[in-house]
Structure 1
């Protein structure tokens, strides 16, 4: 028989939360010298030796300053303006007495990021030492240059749209070359394209992408990954081979045990989704991208130039965060490692490459290639945590792309708009089988109904419990519903009815409050047997419940044989004693 018992369940925290969740949590897991090297990177993103142009390290310093708590930012800016060193007792005066307890927490936060260090120096008044706060030399130089620099972006933006609009745009040949010169203001890169009668007009040149195009590009890139995860065949585009390898290395997919494939096989057709993969599907795109970046960074540890390439990858990711979505930047200003990283990150949807030589152009010639950072890349630092906390406020380009898709005669398959009603019915405007599969993870499949551009589901207790068994958390379900809420709902107060949100959270708490346990009900013959068996089951760890008035005991079903063996021995001894009593 089966009964319910109350008690706490073991921690069910996903393994994904035990690793770094963003760029800075990853940096904090590395040795301090890695951060200091980022702060002191004096390499500028130009092919010039102009000393007036600051190096890439200023963007690492800006990112660290942006990541610090507000009080810590005040400390940094004040220390930077007074030489970088000040006695601790003077720093304490920067905080009101009522907030003095926050002083040490912000100092600790700055120490973790290698922004400051504490030291002791001799006092002039007495023979004792005083504590001093000092900015690290690498960070001090970088933040001072950052404050005085007018350079907002790491690379000069290029007006590729203007070049495309010219009807005389031609491919350069031996007698006609494109030249690039940068101005002192470092705001735009001026390109002069000369033409010649012997040049061929570039007919296969694509139109430069807009901010909306980049949003669609990122969405399509990750839709292909999600389609591949669930084994869907209705999506024409497959993810690159490098992405499929990452899916297996990150534990999102594994070799199908039902096939005869070797465990170390590279055959992608034998891969199936894991419980971690189901959890991954409902994550925000920023979290999904970071998981791939983390795997990419970990993979760099196996190469000889690990430290050098990892430094280049980290500084490139930081610099991407200070670019503008929709702007083009020249790959010619990247180092050899930087350009290799750029092409690799394009497979993850971080950047989109654009070749002015057309589709037939060679990507190996980086002089004709430009990269467009996507919203995901720009938000790696500034928006990685905010995107999760404020899922109800997506970017303007994301909302505009969704509205355009919904207003089209045939809506695109890459967009999803959800309306959750108070009666637990879910309306989803989509034409994608992938989105239907994703909704089926926590909705009742038997309630599925379809119209040309909308599907209907019902959220039930059993369907949500089924999602929990896949390893999906209640917070992830709610975040997914809010993240994909219909644009019309964003003008109101709530994206999900409060009764729906509360009920999903209550269903989740049932897992931590009530646990089902299979037991065996044992009826004892008398009080002596009851007391002996209860003590034995407690010592054995098999005791679940007992009633001394009815002499009944419930024990774990898995340990029934051991308990019954003890009961039989006890009854045999009791019977032997009774026979001896009859004789005497």
Structure 2
């Protein structure tokens, strides 16, 4: 089982990891509180709903009575989540008993979000929209969103061919996220490298983490990338993280197909909105017209971010791998074909189908980029065609074993630093030092007839000390 190279954080985990000052600021917005509430465990939601309309603290013993004793573990975890998020606080009753009460800011804004959610800062959409034009706009938004997002994925897989399709700022976020890395340590970016009118020519390749990223479904990919974008704005650009987060949550509650104004946005909000545009999460006709359309990619986040790593239901498998190392990929997607080409040689290309071959050389090229054998095996299994999805094993053992063999043969030699000892005056001196090195598990190699030996470098000081203490006078 391979270790994950990048960690997926759901909304609850991410908010918990933020400083308390940031959490307190985002609690000042109804949409943020409502979004967080929707992502909480069911038991936490129950606690909050019972406390929401109560103006005084509730003794802990009372809250304990709401839960059957057999669910003690869930109760403890719920207490921990609500405390870490700063949603409630522990106080003492007049009798000195422990009690809990919801934080005022969260309580008031959650109430507004649930029962009195008025127009947000973005919610001044145009009132009259022709239904036919609305349908056309929805189709346009869907095509735009998929095209933009897939252009980023294509750049990750093949940066040379897709470098003109991705903005320089997005490229910087990809490097910040550990999905891309430079292959030239001496590369010096030009002075206009952050100007999106120019095209960065920095030579980069995808990382092993990027391959793991590409295996996730689109919703998880977008959420992970958004977290990295938030961190980039916060750490590298010193932007107000709470401002970016609240905009994100407001957009996730917007109406698909309707446009919203950004006329009164702050500079930070405007800049973050532009980055979301480059990802295909919002659409703007022109930057001069201060209106934008949220796409489904951003709106779907309101339907639940903590949904894990399940694959998309509509994303059916397309790969059939045979024991002769041939791979048949039933797809015309340039992205999927480029992904397959990372570890195989493309042989033939037909309408809706590609034939490729797994070879030692093609797989080793993938290993050089940091992609592991298990990642390749997982990719072939998770994208198996429905016709073979019920086959056991889905991927022939011949192929999985051979991929692992090619991976392991790269590590047949192990290099360790050592110290060479020779020119001993007598056999006794040599045998004494050799036996001591053997006793402390430092002996690497020896030749009795020539009085030669090699020991671990880390044990050199101990061996030298032993030799001096036992050296014949």
Same fold by TM-score greater than 0.5: yes
- Give 5+ residue unaligned stretches, structure 2: 194-198, 421-426, 447-451
| Corresponding residue of 2:15 | 27
| Corresponding residue of 1:372 | 294
| Corresponding residue of 2:230 | 297
User: Per-residue CA shift, 1:10-64, capped at 9, x if unaligned?
Assistant: x9652x33xx735443322222232222222xxxxxxxxxxxxxxxx22222222
Structure 2 Cα separation of the partners of residues 455 and 25 of structure 1: 41
Structure 2 Cα separation of the partners of residues 104 and 340 of structure 1: 41
- Give 5+ residue unaligned stretches, structure 1: 1-8, 41-56, 124-128, 167-205, 356-361, 403-416, 547-552, 577-584
| Corresponding residue of 1:89 | 61
| Corresponding residue of 2:395 | 500
Contact 1:64 1:113 in 2 (8 A): no
Contact 1:226 1:281 in 2 (8 A): no
TM-score normalised to structure 1 length: 0.61
What is the CA distance between 1:100 and its match in structure 2?
A: 1.9
Q: Out of 263-272 and 99-108, give the one that drifted further.
A: 263-272
Structure 1 Cα separation of the partners of residues 402 and 45 of structure 2: 40
Structure 2 Cα separation of the partners of residues 385 and 480 of structure 1: 23
- SS in structure 1 at match of 2:98: strand
What is the CA distance between 1:505 and its match in structure 2?
A: 9.7
| Corresponding residue of 1:331 | 261
What is the CA distance between 1:229 and its match in structure 2?
A: 3.9
Name the Cα RMSD after superposition: 5.0
Structure 1 Cα separation of the partners of residues 36 and 100 of structure 2: 17
Mapping of 1:167-206 within 5 angstroms?
A: none
Corresponding pairs, count: 448
> Rg larger in 1 or in 2?
1
TM-score normalised to structure 2 length: 0.74
| Corresponding residue of 1:269 | 201
What is the CA distance between 1:72 and its match in structure 2?
A: 1.4
Structure 2 Cα separation of the partners of residues 37 and 473 of structure 1: 42
- SS in structure 1 at match of 2:74: helix
2:99 to 114, 118, 132: 132
User: Per-residue CA shift, 1:436-467, capped at 9, x if unaligned?
Assistant: 3321334x42x733323311235578866764
What is the CA distance between 1:538 and its match in structure 2?
A: 5.8
Contact 2:254 2:294 in 1 (8 A): no
What is the CA distance between 1:156 and its match in structure 2?
A: 6.2
User: Per-residue CA shift, 1:448-495, capped at 9, x if unaligned?
Assistant: 333233112355788667645533356755665577666xx3xx8948
What is the CA distance between 1:272 and its match in structure 2?
A: 1.8
Is residue 2:272 matched to residue 1:350? no
Structure 1 Cα separation of the partners of residues 366 and 432 of structure 2: 43
Instruction: Say if 1:518 and 1:434 are closer, same or farther in 2 by CA, change over 3 A.
Output: same
Structure 1 Cα separation of the partners of residues 221 and 128 of structure 2: 30
Contact 1:292 1:348 in 2 (8 A): no
Instruction: Say if 1:270 and 1:34 are closer, same or farther in 2 by CA, change over 3 A.
Output: closer
1:37 to 20, 25, 48: 25
| Corresponding residue of 2:351 | 452
What is the CA distance between 1:151 and its match in structure 2?
A: 6.3
Instruction: Say if 1:479 and 1:119 are closer, same or farther in 2 by CA, change over 3 A.
Output: farther
| Corresponding residue of 1:428 | 329
Structure 1 Cα separation of the partners of residues 61 and 232 of structure 2: 46
Contact 1:35 1:113 in 2 (8 A): yes
What is the CA distance between 1:323 and its match in structure 2?
A: 3.2
| Corresponding residue of 1:78 | 50
Structure 2 Cα separation of the partners of residues 505 and 374 of structure 1: 41
| Corresponding residue of 1:162 | 130
Instruction: Say if 1:537 and 1:252 are closer, same or farther in 2 by CA, change over 3 A.
Output: farther
Contact 2:39 2:306 in 1 (8 A): no
